[in-house]
Amino acid sequence: MLSVWGQLNLQEGMSTIMELMNYFHDYMMIILVLIMTFVTYLFIFVITSPRLDKYTVDSHILETVWTIVPMVILLFMAFPSLYLLYLMEDVSNPNLMVKVVGHQWYWEYQYSNSWFNYGFDSYMVYEKSDSPLFHSLDVDNRLVLPTNANILFLVTSADVLHSWAVPTLGIKTDAIPGRLNYLSTMTPYSGVYYGQCSEICGSNHSFMPIVLEFIPMANYLDYVVSLSSQE
């Protein structure tokens, strides 16, 4: 999944969390459209009305109403927001752990398990002879991961600030030198998902993309076995 030209909305959600975020975004837009219409209408009325009241100095009722009503609206926004926030933070029993290290200007990935340890670098490619290329998005070595598995990413940086983001999975975290940030995701859908560095990190900040390749668990284990035999 990747953005297309002229896209205004969020990308389709390929993980449960991102689907929920899309629904939450629609819910917030309902509230925002409500407020925007109300304010715009009154704004036009105030500009075009021939009447004027130059003797109003205060109104306790009005001040009370325009404090209570936004407070109630904010409560309606806060509860689903906090629910989703805590749901995103939940990291329970990861099946796989991947270390992500940001460099200038490439990503380094390391599969890190008790039974398998393999690391590689992921550079952007400018040309791929055997398949069509997405401009500034394709890499030489993709991060291959299994579907239907809880994956924990530990993200850090070796030099300056970077940010590791994959919008279609709804994940993004800063890569900060000297600090380990964590992210968790799970997707039931195979496919190739793209992201880009999201924190300015130098001249090639726009040219260090992230490509995740999700395949079924059986194929993933086969891939891991082939990697182990290469080592």
Q: Which residues bind another protein (CB under 8 A)?
A: 19, 22-23, 26-27, 29-31, 33-38, 41-42, 45, 49, 51-53, 130-131, 142, 144, 147, 188-192, 213, 215-216, 218-220, 222-223, 225
Q: What values do phi and psi take at 185, rounded to 5?
A: -150, 160
Query: Nearest distance from residue 180's CB to another protein, in Å?
Result: 27
Query: Nearest distance from residue 34's CB to another protein, in Å?
Result: 4
Query: Nearest distance from residue 78's CB to another protein, in Å?
Result: 18
146 or 156: CB nearest another protein: 146
Query: Nearest distance from residue 77's CB to another protein, in Å?
Result: 13
CA distance 134 to 127: 10
User: Residue 184: which of 23, 13, 17, 24 has the closest Cα?
Assistant: 17
Query: Nearest distance from residue 205's CB to another protein, in Å?
Result: 25
Per-residue HEC secondary structure of the chain comes to CCCCCCCCCCCCCCCHHHHHHHHHHHHHHHHHHHHHHHHHHHHHHHHHCCCCCCCCCCCHHHHHHHHHHHHHHHHHHHHHHHHHHHHHHCCCCCCEEEEEEEECCEEEEEEECCCCEEEEEECECCCCCCCCCCCCCCECCCEEEECCCCEEEEEEECCCCEEEEEHHHCEEEEECECCCEEEEECCCCCEEEEEECCCCCCCCHHHCEEEEEEECHHHHHHHHHHHHHHC
Query: Nearest distance from residue 231's CB to another protein, in Å?
Result: 16
